[in-house]
Amino acid sequence: MIEAKRNGGPARAGSGGAEKGGAALIETVRMAEDYLKRRGVDSPRLSAELLLAKVLGCGRLDLYMRFDERLGEEDLGGYRTVLKRRADHYPLQYLIGSVEFYSLPFAVREGVFIPRPETELLVEWVEEAFDGERGARFIEFGVGSGVIAGSLARRHPGWRGFAFDKSKEAVALSKENLERLEIGKERVSVFAADGFEAVSAAGAFDLLVANPPYIPTGSIGALQREVSLYENRAALDGGADGLSFYPLLAASGRRILRPGGMIALEIGDGQGGRVFRILEEAGFERIDVRKDYNGRERLAAAFIPVSRGA
């Protein structure tokens, strides 16, 4: 049977394995959920189920078909290990090792920024703007795990792109993800760089897309513990006001985008007006700021004038 630990740890099994009367999966999940809830973990049931599915090597929905099965001692030991890490607010995505973005699977690991669902809205806006365009050339600043470049290239076989990041870990991971999606180097070239110095061709791209760091330095400590304690600070820190990367992006976009080209950026809530002015001062037109599904400012986009003299 399962016993709750008096010291607040996760539930533990008795001496039996699956064939010796170990805990049923449904009972294990319920006790894990209670443990994570007491430790202040958001969505504890979701974490409990996804982590158990990871340990058992099955899908989350498969658990519902197996809830009467009994958990063996070895699997329970592995489950307790990941539960303890989750109880310390270690990110669920790192424990599972993957996320779904735009219905595509992407590996994630510690040291590389975890993609957020809101970033899908950035891809949606790009696709809306390039509706029917079969041969767009894009460049991504800060490729991270490769979800933006990978989604655009997978969904639009005729598009070609470049993507870079100053993090070698991010470059390696994004290359792995693109390879898993069967996106070759001839379609998306990923490289390590700290800025746009490696991009010399003026007017070479139709699209510049980026989800840059935009959290003000002083606000990082107030974020969820999963973020403030474990995610790469360089992928979060946007400087004192959170806007340190946007002037660089605007100036670089003005140089490397063709007439009519688009710059599409993720932004933080409350930054829309200031990013609008940065883009305006750089000479962009048709500037727009959009909110996410929670009503928070999340995206900004603009276009190079069709006439460079405009």
Output the pLDDT for position 5. 45
Residue at 298: amino acid letter: R
List the binding residues for S-adenosyl-L-methionine. 142-146, 165, 211
pLDDT at 16 over 50: no
List the binding residues for substrate. 211-214
pLDDT, averaged across the chain: 91
Return the percentage of the chain with pLDDT > 70, whole number: 91
Q: Which two tokens stand for residue 171?
A: 């470059």
Going by C-alpha positions, the residue among 126, 142, 108 that lies closest to residue 214 is: 142
Output the pLDDT for position 23. 77
Going by C-alpha positions, the residue among 241, 178, 189 that lies closest to residue 213 is: 241
pLDDT at 288 over 90: yes
How far apart CA 101 and CA 57 sit, in angstroms, is 21
How far apart CA 203 and CA 72 sit, in angstroms, is 61
Output the pLDDT for position 133. 87
Burial class for 256, CB neighbours closer than 10 Å (0-12, 13-18, 19+): buried
Q: Which two tokens stand for residue 151?
A: 């989604």
Domains of the chain in sequence order: 2-88 (1.10.8.10), 102-303 (3.40.50.150)
Output the pLDDT for position 161. 96
Residue at 255: amino acid letter: R
Q: Residues 47, 25: contact at Cβ < 8 Å?
A: no
pLDDT at 152 over 60: yes
Confidence of residue 22 (pLDDT cuts 50, 70, 90): low
How far apart CA 61 and CA 63 sit, in angstroms, is 5
Q: Residues 74, 119: contact at Cβ < 8 Å?
A: no
Burial class for 278, CB neighbours closer than 10 Å (0-12, 13-18, 19+): buried
How far apart CA 261 and CA 284 sit, in angstroms, is 10
Q: Residues 91, 226: contact at Cβ < 8 Å?
A: yes
List the binding residues. 142-146, 165, 211-214
Output the pLDDT for position 10. 62
Per-residue model confidence as pLDDT tens digits over 87-143: 999 999 999 999 999 999 999 999 999 999 999 999 999 999 999 888 999 999 999
In sequence order, which ranges of 112-245 are alpha helices (DSSP H)?
Answer: 120-129, 147-155, 168-180, 225-230
Output the pLDDT for position 72. 87
Going by C-alpha positions, the residue among 106, 94, 95, 197 that lies closest to residue 144 is: 106
Does residue 69 or residue 148 have the better pLDDT? 148
Per-residue model confidence as pLDDT tens digits over 170-213: 999 999 999 999 999 999 999 999 888 877 676 789 999 999 99
User: Which residues make Cβ contacts (< 8 Å) with residue 132, sequence separation at least 6?
Assistant: none
How far apart CA 132 and CA 232 sit, in angstroms, is 37
pLDDT at 286 over 80: yes
Residue at 147: amino acid letter: V
Q: Give me the phi and psi of 260, to 5 degrees please.
A: 90, -5
Give the Cβ contact number of residue 169 at 10 Å.
15
Q: Residues 261, 304: contact at Cβ < 8 Å?
A: yes
Output the pLDDT for position 132. 84
